[in-house]
Copies of this chain bind each other. A is one copy, B any other.
Amino acid sequence: MSDFVCIAEMGPRDGLQNESVSVPTGLKLDFIRALSEAGLEDIEATSFVSPKWVPQLADATELWPQLPVGPRYSALVPNMKGLQKALSVGCHRIALFTAASDEFTKANINMTIEESLVGFADIVAQLRESASGSWVRGYVSTAFECPFSGKIEPDKAVSVALRLLNLGVDEISIGDTIGVASPHEVSELTKALLAEIPKEKLAYHFHDTRGTAIANVACALEKGIRIFDSSAAGLGGCPYAKGAGGNLATEDLAYFLTREGLTHSVDLAKLALASLPVLGLLNQCPYAKAQVAVLAESLQK
């Protein structure tokens, strides 16, 4: 099995979308450039969402054409209007967001899962027609537990993932949106997913809200998963989920993978510095454990 692990960087989109301060476009570009120079090859850069919903990402059409050359970028697209905006600036790598719980999609995107999938079918068809080389990622959030309706059975998450694949989505990212899962659940869900879906099409999006994310990564790696979402400095969480917060930090993920003898594209020393200007603007201290350790070590040298 491949020793190379793909890291999908969520910092610029998922990391910033819920901050009370809007990061200026220039500083976002510096952040993304620093992430690229730290080796990140897959970056979800922004969301073509209504500025009324997410004012922090209102600069998506301004940002996209200025993205530094190098990484593969993608952007979240909530609806057909978002797709039109994305296409207008040459973005044809998109991500679609749904969940394994109707209660969650209703609270989050004001639709049932079914309604979201119907909309996605049109978006994917339009994208494929409009652009060659397009690529679509589908998020299945609250795949383990919903903050409103509780535990989600693996079958439910698998069925939504299969529906997305049938729509022509290229990659599915399975989310522990409120950061509650532990390895036996990851083991169970991964087995169920792999019975239906090739592992190359599967990613996990763990939140480290209760400190379990790296143990969950370890479990998923054992089962053959090789794509993980994370956010530099652990920036961001989910604004709609009770008690949510804490994307898995890319620094913690990169440290863990290296120490486990797996390969990836990230230079941890560079990455530890990449988020500092944004953290400073947000008036936050670095709070990814491996980031703090790397910064402390470099100060002691």
Contact = CB atoms under 8 A, between A and B. Distances in A.
A211 interface: yes
A149 interface: no
A180 B290 CA distance: 9
B290 A259 contact: no
Interface string A185-224: 1000000000000000000000011111011011100000
Contacts of A181: 259
Interface size range on A against B? 35 or more
B296 A255 contact: no
A66 B222 CA distance: 49
Interface of A: 179-185, 208-212, 214-215, 217-219, 242-243, 245-246, 249, 252, 255-256, 259-261, 287-290, 292-293, 296-297, 300
22 contacts: A179-B293, A182-B256, A182-B260, A183-B260, A184-B261, A185-B259, A208-B289, A211-B214, A211-B249, A211-B252, A211-B255, A211-B288, A212-B255, A212-B256, A214-B215, A218-B218, A242-B297, A243-B297, A243-B300, A245-B293, A246-B289, A287-B287
